Structure 1
């Protein structure tokens, strides 16, 4: 698509006007997604619509309509150009059904901030064959840019727009940002789609140049999500794949380039649910910069020095994810662990084991227990050429509320492993909890098949 044509199209389309549909207002019906299965089969014209939610109509969306034939400009009662605007863009919809999560995300945003929430309904163009849907995404972005242009006429600023795109919707947001030369305030990509985008030019996918601040949350980078960093900061949850509590389907790889079940795969949707959960602020979801997930798990990246100037980025609505460094980092990977269910937060525990020299390799399991919460386990393979082992594990409670630490020699029965002597075992939390350095136990002997247990005194 030629850029000159795009500019002409945008300029000629400034006649876009917005109005709450009269019939809807009279009948007090709430606007909803346009379920277009039948219309799509009949080959009717490509169309999108916009749903508006604010704190004044949080439970009943209003419909923004575009009508270039109507020269009477009427601004919807609920839209407030002096407030920030969150724009939600869904992704691929295999069967033409509406995304069930939109209401929950909109409500969470409105609970957290007094904003306008605009939901882009492009189900019409997002359904059926994935490759055909990808062909539509720039057209969707172009139409959205017309809407944004008109809203700036009413007093909104480009910096006041925060786009939130899910899967393919993240790339729609990115192209809107491209059309505005990166002047939008913020773009959040929730597991940006990978198929047909992993090798795409940055101008054709979400990229850090698309807004003043671009962030992405990756949860399925080995299948339906993109595996490369696409923002200023990219959060890779549990390494960006295989999320806790999600069972990997053996048929997933069949649909990599035609993801019929893309929106029901647990890993792919986890980014959305984690983001929604972060908005209630019940616990921080903090990422740590690292060159790889393996190094993160090896305890080599336990602070946010370097490009972040000691301030760790956090998932949520903090400005620039809480990053205070200037200039902003670019395409920085940050890693964090999460739990299997909301609010998904976990405390990062650094485990250091100093072992007396071994005659044979050994396997041990370390378990942390906090009353009333699920136990967390860490399995370690101890080799004969090492005496110090450092690993990172997640636990649902902070260090000072860990009641018990357990150790068990789990080597195979036929493999005659002798006793294991630990000179010390220390656990600490990062970022470091104020007044709580670490908990250590020294001089431990672990016999084969015998559970060792140590209770800690509560110090919170």
Structure 2
């Protein structure tokens, strides 16, 4: 099955002349060979030269004709939630006769490769927007230009971005639409479409890149991809930051916004490692199930964003230099310090005015299925060092009890680790609910010896390896609540220990 996926990907990225050409594709190939630029009236001129040709873009095409791409704009408001009105930039009456209101905020949503403006995720996002407020919600359909090969679709994004910019300009003239109140949300190739639109729209308010496409964009010139200069505020959400080959990753790890969020480290999203049959059963259809199997990590970005619009859970992210340091609890999770925390998704614009947050990466954990948001806690413990204590190897579990419930016994170490007497250790634990005011903590560890280390041997379980939990501190990343508990004497031998005496 994996080889089939790889072959499909190779076919998607092959140049058009490597396969049987349709009449329209043959025309594009002929155009590419005969000239290196093309102009489309008021949508501008396009070249296959630098910076759009580079080592990262060895096969390059010009955008197809506007008639072929057939970009369309569908407007929804609370007055027409379920029935769109089509906005046509060259038809002022289509705008005058619509429900577009220039005094309201506007959300413009674009799909990516192999999709169109009627895909389920865009409809769901539209519904969540209108549940939150009476926005102008415009769904962009460029399905005529988003199909195979990928290299042609990437070229077409430039023209689609120009068409969005043109529409915004007309909305500004006809209905007093304010670009600073406009927010473009794009998934995959749609993220770079948003960037192109922003390049041509002075004072555009915000762009959100949902797992911006990596192939043909990562490490390219900023004029080729989404970057912070494309809007007043640019945020990006990375969920599939693996390389395309050999890991079959569709997103990018490169930071491209004022702030960049990396849930679960930006790759390997929980729940995406199930078999294809399970994906088909859960999604309720062959097409969506197959898409989830091939690109589950990539698609999670729009699921996270959609849920964040009306979620009571904050989708809090924490500034850190790496995901490993975030998991180890070595980064400060103090949201009272401006710019150290930020909400991923819809509410990320709270960081817009926090200049000290710009340029930072934010990390958080999610669950494997909706609702995805989790609450984060740092657990730090210090081991005692009484006479006769030793270094031991094992895994640690913890349970935190609070006024709103408990964590439940959780494994906090990713692997077997060595614990040294007198040393301190910290880990991040994520739970799907706020456990309230912390009352006590139960720690449990399981000894795991190493066969190559004779000092860790425990034949016939004659020895009883012990750790001495002297102090434990729990910090809520979301509320900044802190609770510290100490062992009465710090010298009791402990395999499982509940600490409830405050220090």
Which TM-score bucket, shorter chain as reference?
0.7 to 0.9
Name which of structure 1's ranges 378-387 and 122-131 shifts more when overlaid on structure 2: 378-387
Query: What TM-score, normalized to structure 1?
Result: 0.78
CA distance in 2, matches of 1:72, 1:78: 12
Shift of 1:163: 0.4
Name which of structure 1's ranges 211-220 and 264-273 shifts more when overlaid on structure 2: 264-273
- Tell me which residue corresponds to 1:420: 466
Shift of 1:45: 2.4
CA distance in 1, matches of 2:120, 2:295: 14
Name which of structure 1's ranges 125-134 and 432-441 shifts more when overlaid on structure 2: 432-441
CA distance in 1, matches of 2:486, 2:275: 41
Shift of 1:305: 8.0
**CA pair 153-433 structure 1, distance change in 2 beyond 3 A:** closer
- Tell me which residue corresponds to 2:358: 330
Q: Is the partner of 1:174 in helix, strand or coil?
A: helix
**CA pair 45-364 structure 1, distance change in 2 beyond 3 A:** closer
1:206-232 CA-to-partner distances (Å, cap 9, x unmatched) read 101100000011111112111011101
**CA pair 220-134 structure 1, distance change in 2 beyond 3 A:** same
- Tell me which residue corresponds to 1:454: 498
| Contact persistence 1:315–1:321 (CA under 8 A) | no
- Tell me which residue corresponds to 2:380: 352
Q: Is the partner of 1:230 in helix, strand or coil?
A: coil
- Tell me which residue corresponds to 2:261: 235
- Tell me which residue corresponds to 2:179: 158
Kindly report which structure 2 residues correspond to 1:425-440, keeping only aligned pairs within 5 A, or say none.
Answer: 425-431=471-477, 433=479, 436-440=482-486
- Tell me which residue corresponds to 2:169: 149
CA distance in 1, matches of 2:146, 2:133: 29
- Tell me which residue corresponds to 1:269: 299
- Tell me which residue corresponds to 1:136: 156
CA distance in 2, matches of 1:271, 1:304: 25
- Tell me which residue corresponds to 2:23: none
Matched, 1:313 2:342: yes
Of 86, 92, 104, the residue aligned with 1:63 is: 86
Q: C-alpha root-mean-square deviation of aligned residues, in Å?
A: 3.5
CA distance in 2, matches of 1:408, 1:336: 25
Q: Is the partner of 1:270 in helix, strand or coil?
A: helix
CA distance in 1, matches of 2:500, 2:433: 14
**CA pair 408-435 structure 1, distance change in 2 beyond 3 A:** closer
Kindly report which structure 2 residues correspond to 1:69-84, keeping only aligned pairs within 5 A, or say none.
Answer: 75-84=96-105
Shift of 1:359: 4.1
Name which of structure 1's ranges 222-231 and 438-447 shifts more when overlaid on structure 2: 438-447
Matched, 1:245 2:275: no
Name which of structure 1's ranges 43-52 and 77-86 shifts more when overlaid on structure 2: 43-52
Query: What TM-score, normalized to structure 2?
Result: 0.72
**CA pair 436-74 structure 1, distance change in 2 beyond 3 A:** closer
| Contact persistence 1:419–1:446 (CA under 8 A) | no
- Which 5+ residue runs of structure 2 have no aligned equivalent? 1-31, 46-65, 243-248, 277-289, 452-456
- Tell me which residue corresponds to 2:324: 294
CA distance in 2, matches of 1:49, 1:302: 46
CA distance in 1, matches of 2:73, 2:311: 28
**CA pair 239-439 structure 1, distance change in 2 beyond 3 A:** farther
Shift of 1:248: 7.2
Shift of 1:147: 0.9
CA distance in 2, matches of 1:305, 1:347: 13
Query: How many aligned residue pairs are there?
Result: 407
